Every structure is written in C-alpha cells, then in structure tokens.
A and B are shown apart, each in its own frame.
Chain A
C-alpha cells in the first residue's frame, strides 16, 4: 500500500484516460479545499470517489467540470485541457453535481426541455424524444408533468440524473447520486451505472456509501482532507490494502515494540494484535514477533472489505495513538 505522493497504487493502465488531474489545488480565501490531487480516471472505468464529508470530493468534481478554477494544477478532460477546452469536452459529459438544480415553477418535463435546449449535441428535432427517453430511463414518467416544487428528494435526484443522461455521454459524473433515494431507487441507480458501463461510458461516482461503491465500481479513489490518499482498481486496492494479520498473543507489549523496531504497523486488538501486511509479509511478521520474545498462539490472514480500507485511510491520524509509531500508510509522507 502506497500513497499517491510516492508511486500511486494505480494498476498501470494501458488504456486511455477519460480525465486526469495533476497537482490540483484550490484555495478559498485562506482555507485549502483541495491540495495535490492527482486523479486518473481510466476510460471505461466506473470510478468511485470516496471520502468523508469535507474531504474535497465535490470541489474536485467541480474543477473537473470547469465550474471552478483551480488555484494551481492541470486538468485534462476527455483529452482537452481545462478550462480552454471546456467547450469541446463538456458536451460529452453529463453531470449531476451538488444535488439536482431545477426551477421549482416548471414541471419536470419542462425543466428537462430547458436543459436540452442548451445541449450542443442535441439537434432541435430530437429534443422531445430525448427528454421522454431520459424521463423513462430514470422512472419519472408518472411525475414528469408535475411541478418540480412538489417533488420528493428522490424524484429530484432522478430528474437530475435524467438531465445528465439527455445525450449519450462519454463521461458521466454523479455526485452523491443516491442521496435521498429509497432502496429501490438505489438499485435503479446501480443499474443505470451498470448500463452506462456496459455501453462503454466512463462513470465517476462520488459517494460516502461504501457498499454502494463496492457494488458498482471498478476503480476507487479515496480522498481525505483534500488530497487523494489512495486510488486504483478496486480489487487490487482491497488485496493490497486489505490484507492484515491477526495475531493472538499474550505478550502484546513485547510484540508491539518488536514490530515498531521493524517499522511494521500494528495495533492491539482483542486477545492480540492486528498487523498490517503492507510492505511486509506474514512470515516476516511472525519471525519478528518470535525474535522479539512474543509467543504467537495463532496468526490468521485478515481479509478486509472496502469499509475497513476506507476507515484506515481516512481515520489514520485519529487512530494513530492506538497504533505503533509508524503507520506505513501515511508514513511515506511525514
């Protein structure tokens, strides 16, 4: 497991890149919202962008869409640099950012027609059909004639999705798409993402619902405090970051100090320790423990899910007090 600042965990993708950022930084006054964000979105991938509230997900997305100018850094969207290439790239990008935004006095359908009028890729004659298709696709047919004012949160979210899907897109960016949706709605969103993926579109989904990301994404990028702490293919990240060793030992203190000397990350857990296998291997850990005088009763390989990986990445600093001195996750940077 490495950090973005050293070698990224990214599986060396031979495929083209739908979007890429380099050294992205955004300051609002004196607060730094996002710093050193190097994001890579491989073409055809479904990238889940994870991060706690305020970690810079939305700011990064807004910069990717040319809504916000970065203070520093470069952005490339569908092969064009932003903001100069925005007019060429953005027609191929559908986006739902920071919740759906529509006019309350217009019906859902009228709102979509207004959006469609500003879509460069949509010929005038096809507007009507495209709007009906989008409404159908997100399951809003029953409510399309009603005023947006009276929509439930879930219906608003669906309408936002419909606007993003008005035209066949190369890239679809969805910021918290399942906000306010019931379980059925969440499943439908998953299906839509799967359909987009199958049709060859690239999808960027930001979410703090991990099960969501685990179920739909091929790639993951984890943001924390305005920077990317890990990114890559989901399966690889889980293998790389998720493997740990649970060691049952009565000599926790001895074990911890031995591991600390060997610069292996570990923390007390239950009857023993949890040892991270990043940058080391199970035999090496056990050897270290035994040489340090700790009796090892049992050692089990611990396979983690995304939730734990996420927790470790984003709560590293908070958890640090309970861990041995070196946290290999963040250690490279400090």
Chain B
C-alpha cells in the first residue's frame, strides 16, 4: 500500500508542468557552466588563482561537482521549497488534501509520503544535473580523470565515485531544507508563502554568516555547512567538515519533520 502511495506521489510530481520546466532549467546549469568555462578558457592567459573554476579547465568531471556546489546556495533550496509548498499547502489550496485524509491516509503517513516524494525528486534532480554535468563537462572540456583540490589526480572510476558521494550529500542538504519547508507548508494553504519563507531564511542565513561578530550563531545555520561539502574534492577526503554539515542538515531534517507532524496531526482541514 505504501509503495503504491509513494509511486502515485512521484508520478503526480513528475506530471506537473512546473516540475518539468524546473528540471529543464536545472539541466541548463551544467551546460551553461561547461560552455562558459570552455569559451573563457580560450583567451585565458593562465596563472589564475587556485580556485575551483581554475581547476575545472581540461577537467570535465569537476563540472557536476562545481554545478551542484553553486546550485546548493540558491537554486536547489528553491526547488526543494517549491516541492514542499505544493506537497501540503498546494494540496490544501486545491482541496485535494481533504480527499487524501478522507481516503483515509493517516496524517503521519501522509507526511512520510510527502517526504518520500521530496527525497525521490531531489535525488532525481541532483542526479540529473550531475549526469548532464558529466556529459557536458566531458564534451566541452575533455576528461582524463579528476584533478582534486589537493593537487592529485584521480582515475575516472574514483572520480565518478566522488561525484556519487557528492550527489548523496547535496540531496541530503536539499531534503533537510525541504523538510523545514514542509513544516511551513503544513501551516498554510498558500504555496507562495512557503517558498517565500524558505528562500528568505536561506538568504538571511547567508547574510548572517558574513558577520564575524555573529560567529556563535554560525554553527546553527544550515548554509554555513554548504562550503565544507567541497571536501569531497580533496584527496584523501577529510571527513570532519562533511560530517558536521551532514549532522547539521540531519538536525534540520528531524526538527522540520517533527514540526510538520505536530502541525499536521492537529490541523483542521
């Protein structure tokens, strides 16, 4: 029964015109990045700083990681918030939430169905971006292994494993943000409120993390965990920051799910 509900949920999300358009937009990101680096590389005089973009030249396998790393700051949270918004607030707005509850789907199960849909679609979107990134990166920049931030070069197989690890880490961050957005989504029937609240929070977090005087706050902001994820590009991988970021996201996931469940269980529909 629950697999059937999971299936229905994902099919429903995939049937939405905005999901299709959104995925199409996401796929454009790695293509544009690859193209941009390719054209920029032509007239580059060399000697750029040892940043991520500099390493990418002639190193196509880094494109998916660079793409996801950039998108995690704004684009992926936006997508997660849209899915979370449609999941509960959108269903309430269309009156379809009532239908589900009368079917009946217990409220806790409904939340898990929504969380599953969010996770499946996030994983799908992130993987899609990565795959397109690999293809576009290889096509535009060529690929012989993956050069790490530590200066070593990994074989293609090892490089793909790193990409897979990064996909999982980024998806987890995205789902955690989505879980908090679901908690907001359970309180309203206006999807836009959910998106606005989520995006405002993400942006405010990023601004707050710029102030050194607020450094006591930084360990609690999910956005401060994002940069540490790039450690998958080091050799060997230092697990410290990756672990901290994931743990922080895990807290957001638990708190978001908990709040959403509390709200959903007592909600009048």
Contacts and interface: CB of A to CB of B under 8 A. Distances in A.
Contact of B98 (A98, A103, A110): A98
B4 A117 contact: yes
A98 B268 CA distance: 14
A117 B5 contact: yes
Contacts of B101: 65-67
B96 interface: yes
Interface of B, secondary structure class, is helix
Contact of A124 (B4, B95, B266): B4
Nearest to A97: B98
Nearest to A104: B94
B201 interface: no
A17 to B, nearest CB: 20
Interface in B8-44: 8, 12, 15-17
Interface string A99-122: 111111110001001110111100
A190 interface: no
Given A102-B94, A105-B17, A110-B15, A115 B103 contact: yes
A134 to B, nearest CB: 13
B105 interface: yes
Nearest to B113: A118
B172 to A, nearest CB: 27
Contact of A99 (B4, B95, B100, B102): B95
Contact of B96 (A66, A103, A110, A124): A103
A95 B102 contact: yes
Interface in B67-120: 94-106
Contact of A87 (B97, B104, B268): B104
B12 A67 contact: no
Interface of A, secondary structure class, is loop
A163 interface: yes
A87 B102 CA distance: 9
Contact of B99 (A113, A115, A120): A115
Contacts, number: 74
B1 interface: yes
B257 to A, nearest CB: 21
B98 A118 contact: no
B7 interface: yes
A97 B1 CA distance: 25
B100 A105 contact: no
A56 to B, nearest CB: 14
Interface in B185-231: none
Interface string A63-101: 001111100000000000000001100110101011111
Contact of B266 (A69, A91, A113): A69
Contacts of A208: none
25 contacts: A62-B269, A66-B104, A67-B98, A67-B102, A67-B268, A69-B266, A90-B102, A91-B103, A93-B102, A97-B98, A98-B95, A99-B95, A102-B94, A102-B99, A105-B16, A113-B8, A114-B8, A117-B5, A117-B7, A118-B8, A118-B99, A118-B105, A119-B103, A120-B104, A124-B4
Enumerate the 6 nearest inter-chain pairs by beta-carbon distance, A residue then B residue, closest first.
A101-B95, A117-B8, A90-B104, A118-B103, A68-B268, A67-B269
Interface of A: 62, 65-69, 86-87, 90-91, 93, 95, 97-106, 110, 113-115, 117-120, 124, 163
